[in-house]
């Protein structure tokens, strides 16, 4: 195992190029193909720590995990009816989204949002979807929508 670390700039450059290539290939449809990016992180770092099915408790656990690993500096969330609004500060991947905006592509994927989606789907068995990512001064604003339980046949 090599103990050498790779620079964050290098990783973000690769992420940008992969996102952009995928966008060029699939356009807006790409957002439905990247909803599980970060699943490995969720399964190893977040899921084992989630003890509650309460949405806000799950968000707090995810925030603590992401902060502990230096991925974000902070996160806050507010639920209003079916909408979950999340504000993320200090994300190490923010430069990728800024570059996407600079080339005319609205942000369409977010590993932090995916952690919340994976938690809700796994712990509450509810459909949830990332609706929008807005880059704000000093933060990203994520908007997710929660849907009713999935129908099932008996």
Reference 91, options 63, 131, 120; nearest CA is 63
pLDDT at 84: 98
2 in any annotated domain = no
pLDDT at 1: 54
66 in any annotated domain = yes
CATH of the domain at 47: 3.30.1380
115 in any annotated domain = yes
Distance CA(103)–CA(98), nearest Å, equals: 9
Which tokens in the block code for residue 103?
């080339």
81 in any annotated domain = yes
Q: How many residues does the chain have?
A: 154
65 in any annotated domain = yes
103 in any annotated domain = yes
Number of domain units in the chain: 1
153 in any annotated domain = no
Spell out the SS3 assignment of the chain: CCCCCCCHHHHHHHHHHHHHHHHHHHHHHHHHCCCCCCHHHHHHHHHHHCCCCCHHHHHHHHHHHHHHCCCCCEEEEEEECCEEEEEEECCCCHHHHHHHHHCCCCCCCCHHHHHHHHHHHHHHCCCEEEEEEEEECCEEEEEEEECCCCCCCC
Radius of gyration over every alpha carbon of the chain, rounded to an integer in angstroms: 16
The pTM assigned to this predicted structure is: 0.91
Tell me the CA end-to-end span of the chain in Å, nearest whole number.
51
The tens digit of pLDDT for each residue in 4-41 reads 889 999 999 999 999 999 999 999 999 889 998 999 99
Print pLDDT tens along the chain (154 aa).
Answer: 567 889 999 999 999 999 999 999 999 999 889 998 999 999 999 999 999 999 999 999 999 999 999 999 999 999 999 999 999 999 999 999 999 999 999 999 999 999 999 999 999 999 999 999 999 999 999 999 999 887 777 7
pLDDT at 2: 65
1 in any annotated domain = no
| Residue 67 and residue 73 in contact, taking contact as beta carbons nearer than 8 Å | yes
Range of the domain at 105: 8-146
pLDDT at 105: 96
């Amino acid at each position: 195992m090599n103990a050498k670390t790779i620079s964050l700039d290098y990783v973000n450059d690769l992420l940008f190029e992969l996102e952009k290539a995928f966008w060029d290939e699939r356009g807006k449809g790409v957002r439905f193909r990247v909803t599980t990016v970060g699943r490995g992180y969720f399964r190893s770092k977040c899921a084992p720590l989630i003890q509650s099915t309460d949405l806000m408790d799950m968000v707090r656990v995810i925030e603590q995990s992401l902060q502990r690993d230096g991925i974000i500096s902070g996160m806050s969330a507010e639920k209003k009816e079916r909408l979950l609004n999340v504000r993320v500060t200090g994300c190490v991947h923010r430069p990728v989204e800024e570059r996407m905006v600079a080339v005319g592509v609205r942000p369409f994927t977010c590993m932090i949002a995916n952690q919340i989606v994976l938690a809700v789907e796994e712990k509450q068995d509810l459909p949830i979807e990332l609706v929008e990512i807005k880059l704000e001064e000093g933060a990203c604003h994520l908007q997710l929508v929660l849907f009713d339980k999935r129908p099932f046949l008996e």
